[in-house]
Structures are given as C-alpha cells and as structure tokens.
Amino acid sequence: MVVRNKGRSPVIKQLPLSDIVAEELRQRIWQGDFQAGERLIEADLASEMEISRSSLREALQILENEKLVVNKSRKGTFINHFTERDIAEITEVRLCLEVPALIQAAKNLTEDDRNYLNHLLELMRQNLETEDWYELFNIEMEFHRYLVDLCNNSRIRDIYCNLLVQIRTYFNLLKDYYSTRKETFYHEHKQLLDAIKTGDKRIVEKAVLDHIRLLT
C-alpha cells in the first residue's frame, strides 16, 4: 500500500494479510463483481484467494465495520444494500465535515495543490470519454480526499477517512445517473474547484453545499 505523504516521496507500508484481502474485496465490490444483497460464500472465496478461512473472516470483519457487508446470524455474510436512509446519513455527515474542511482548504491552497487538482480534473475528463466508471469514481474519491486533507485538521481528516469507503461505494450508485450526463460530472467538479480557488468563504460554502446536495 502506498501511503500519501504530502511533499515527500511515497512511503511503502506493509499491511497485514487481512487488510490486503479486505482491499481486494472492496475493489471487487466497486468493480461490480459482487452485487448488493449477494451472499459471499466463505469457503469458495478462501479457496479462490488461496487464504485461510480465518484470514478471510478477519477481512470480512473489516468490511462489516465499514458497512460494506452485513453478517446475518446463521445465514452468512452479504453485500450491503445502501438504502435511502443510508445515503441521507452519509450526505449529512459529508456536509458536516466537508463544508468547514473545504472552507479551510481554500485558505491553504498552494500552486502545487492547484496543479494536482487540475490534473485530477483532466483525468476525470479522460475517463468520462472512455466511460471507465470504476477509475472515474476512484479519481473522484481522491479529489475529495485531497481537498479535505488540505484543511489540516487531523480529526476531520481521520473521521472523513473512516467514511471514505462508504462514500466511494455510494459513488457507484451514481453510474446510471451520470451515464447520460457525462459533461455534468466534469463541470460539477470544475465549478467546485473554481469556487475553492477564489478563497471566498461564502462562495466556497455555497459551492460545497450545492455539490453535495445535488443528488439527494
């Protein structure tokens, strides 16, 4: 795993096997290999991934804590289905975190930050052209994570990081909406970045509120 260390070379961190397996399963969920409500057969997955059942269970516990899967007593483990209430709660928490974070981020924005965020926008545009939704939503996740990271509030960053897996999973639900509105996706993020670049608190606040509430 590459751990981002702003302003320095990436740091390589050795992860426990359960974390590596959990990440593999996350990616497969986001790629659509598993569908909402689908049961995960532990014996089959452990055999396929060539790991022990105990390592798989540890990985599934991580995903359950992240609310990506749910364990039903005597029935097994299933891919979680995000309800309207789940989405509303995620949106509410995002508003609590991202509004103050991005207002502060606007004050801390450097030229290097602008260049990197512009680079992410360009990657969004390129992936919209090829309709690579999996990579596109990964880029979107990085775009928002990077902006929140700029607030320099370690507690906001930590809470947001814990929520980020659910946010990324929610992005998957937007594919059908954006498949016929590809240009809208790019322009929404460009408008948000343009607002942040102004450094004006009121402009940033309105842009963040409009951006997050758009699909609720």
Q: Is residue 4 part of a domain?
A: no
Contact between 30 and 168 under an 8 Å Cβ cutoff? The reply is: yes
Q: The whole model's pTM is what? A: 0.85
Q: Are residues 99 and 39 in the same domain?
A: no
| 128 & 151 share domain | yes
Answer whether 105's CB lies under 8 Å from 198's CB.
no
- Residue span of the structural domain in which 63 resides: 9-79
Is the four-CA dihedral 177, 206, 94, 1 of positive or negative sign?
Answer: positive
Residues β-bridged to residue 72: 76
Q: What six digits make up the tokens of 178?
A: 């954006």
Domain holding 90: CATH number? 1.20.120.530
Is 63 domain-assigned? yes
Low-confidence ranges of the chain (pLDDT < 50): 1-12
End-to-end CA distance of the chain: 33
Same domain, 65 and 115: no
pLDDT digits (tens, 9 = 90+) for 127-151: 999 989 999 999 999 999 999 999 9
Q: Which residues pair with 77 in a beta bridge?
A: 40, 71
Does residue 32 belong to any structural domain of this protein? yes
**Per-residue pLDDT tens for 45-79?**
999 999 999 999 999 999 999 999 999 988 999 99
CATH number for 48: 1.10.10.10
Residue 102 DSSP label: H
